[in-house]
Amino acid sequence: MDLVHEGVLRKFESLKGNLIVGKVGIKGNNSNERLPPDQYVPEAHILHNLVRGFYKPAGKPYILSYQATESNKNYGKQIIWKDTHQNQFLRIEMAPPNKEKDPIKKSDIEAARYNLNHNIPIGILYKIKKGHNRVLGLGTITSERADGVFVVEPFSFKDSASRPLEELKTLVEDEEINTSFVAEVIQRRGQAVFKKKLIANYTECAICGIDEPSLLIASHIKPWKYSSNLERLDRFNGLLLCPNHDRLFDQGLITFSDNGMIIISKLLTPKTKTLLGLTDNMQIYLVEDHKKYIDWHRENCFRNTQ
Ligand SMILES: [Zn+2]
């Protein structure tokens, strides 16, 4: 994500809830078809081109923003509201352009997939009526349904705390310095943010209940080295575990089914299982957002044979 792109997204976040009347506040006026640089974006830019729902900036692989339109005909189908007065949506169903011969359709879909695969947020405008757009903030595309609809869920930079990480990552790329040290710093800072998030939600080892804070480890379900930056900081990609259970999980000697039932590796002897407090009927609490990570762990980390 470059500075301009990230700046536009941050601007979307800061404008959340604002009603923009006319197109000048979205793409500039006629004499200067862009918005001037500001505190968020270091160069001239636009939020959306107002031509079609998807806005993919020329030459970029991603969608920058989406304009949801709710005519009476499709009311309640495109934006699933959490709270209309607060302009909070639960979900937006982003249907791709439906004209069969639309030449831009294919590139729009590819761009949306790019956002999906790279966890790149998009800005959301809600067109209430002609020339009246409400900024709904940011969303991330979380899935592509079989019917071609892209599902968007709310996103906030404030929650993701990804900025320090991005900055350090840029440093690594720019300086081309030996990355092992810097990578370690990034990992340590990321881990600290991640642990804070888990501690805010859990107080004890998910498996045995040990609750001494200094012993608890924020364990990634999908390991750090395989995760994207957003996945690294996603609290649903984590379990709070005591040292023994962290190590067992990290080593792939235990994993969990989608409903949280423990799966214990055949490599562990009955004696070790007993000493580590493991029984086959253990279950941890998982929610829907954990599942993609747990699936990944079960498929790629768990080992039942040498
Ligand atoms: Zn434990």
pLDDT single digits (tens) 147-174: 889 999 998 887 654 444 555 455 444 4
What is the spatial distance between Cα 211 and Cα 202, in angstroms, rounded to a whole number?
A: 9
Domain boundary among 134, 158, 182: 158
* CA 248 to centroid of ligand 1, rounded, Å: 10
CA of 278 to the centre of ligand 1 (A): 9
Q: Go through 98-120 and write b for each residue having 16 or more CB atoms within 10 A of its CB, e for each that does not.
A: eeeeeeebeebbebbbbbbeebb
Q: Look at residue 306 and tell me if it is in a domain.
A: no
Distance of CA 190 from the midpoint of ligand 1 (Å):
23
Tell whether 96 and 182 lie within a shared domain.
Answer: no
Rounded CA-CA distance 246/49 in Å is 49
Question: What was the pLDDT predicted at 172?
Answer: 44
Choosing from 158, 192, 219, the residue where a domain stops is 158
Domain contains 124: yes
Query: What is the domain-level CATH number for residue 45?
Result: 2.30.280
Residue 150, Cβ neighbours under 10 Å: how many?
25
Same domain, 203 and 267: yes
* Cα-to-centroid distance, 187 and ligand 1 (Å): 23
Q: Compute, in angstroms, the gap from residue 191 CA to the centroid of ligand 1.
A: 19
Q: How far is the CA of 141 from the centre of ligand 1 (A)?
A: 34
49 and 118 share one domain: yes
The whole-chain average pLDDT of the chain stands at 85
Distance 254 CA to ligand 1 centre (A): 12
My answer on whether 141 and 87 are in the same domain is yes
Instruction: Categorize the per-residue pLDDT at 181 as very low, low, confident or very high, splitting at 50, 70 and 90.
Output: low
- Are the beta carbons of 256 and 219 closer than 8 angstroms? no
pLDDT at residue number 280:
93
Query: Does 154 share its domain with 167?
Result: no
Last residue of a domain, one of 158, 189, 210: 158
At 59, which helix (H) or strand (E)? none
Residues 39 and 173 in one domain: no
Q: How far away, in angstroms, is 269 Cα from ligand 1 center? A: 18
Q: Residue 243 C-alpha to ligand 1 middle, in angstroms? A: 7
Cα(50)–Cα(26) distance, integer angstroms: 8
- Domain membership of residue 126 (yes or no) is yes
pLDDT of residue 105: 80
Query: Do 175 and 93 share a domain, yes or no?
Result: no
pLDDT score at 164: 47
pLDDT at 210 over 80: yes
C-alpha distances (whole Å) from 303 to each of 101, 248, 274 are 49, 11, 19
**Count of domains for the chain:** 2
Answer positive or negative: Cα dihedral of 197, 199, 204, 210: positive
The answer on pLDDT for 70 being more than 90 is: no
Are 124 and 190 in the same domain? no
Distance CA 260, CA 104 (A): 43
pLDDT of amino acid 38: 87
Please name every residue paired with 112 in a beta bridge, in sequence order, or none if there are none: none
Same structural domain, 179 and 106: no
For 103-143, the pLDDT digits (tens) are: 778 888 999 999 988 888 999 999 988 889 999 999 999 88
Q: What is the bridge-based pairing of β-strands 65-69 and 122-129?
A: parallel
Q: Any idea which of 15-29, 66-80, 144-158 has the lowest mean pLDDT?
A: 66-80
Decide if 265 is inside a domain.
yes
What pLDDT score does 212 carry?
A: 93
Structure tokens at 99: 């004209």
Gap from CA of 276 to ligand 1 centroid (Å): 8
Ligand 1 centre to CA of 218 (Å) is 12
Judgement on whether residues 151 and 232 belong to the same structural domain of the protein: no
Residues 37 and 139 occupy one common structural domain: yes
Q: Looking at the domain assignment, is residue 305 inside a domain?
A: no
Q: Are residues 11 and 139 in the same domain?
A: yes
Residues 250-260: what's their mean pLDDT? 95
- Taking Cα atoms as reference points, which of 105, 122, 119, 108 lies closest to residue 48? 122
The parent domain of residue 123 ranges over: 3-158
In-domain check, residue 273: yes
Q: Which amino acid is at 228?
A: S
pLDDT at 278: 95
- 86/162 Cα distance (integer angstroms): 25
Q: What's the CA-to-centroid distance between 214 and ligand 1, angstroms?
A: 13
pLDDT for the residue numbered 175: 42
Write down the residue that tokens 């505190």 correspond to: 39
Within a domain: residue 176? Answer: yes
Q: Would residue 239 count as lying in a domain?
A: yes
Confidence (pTM): 0.54
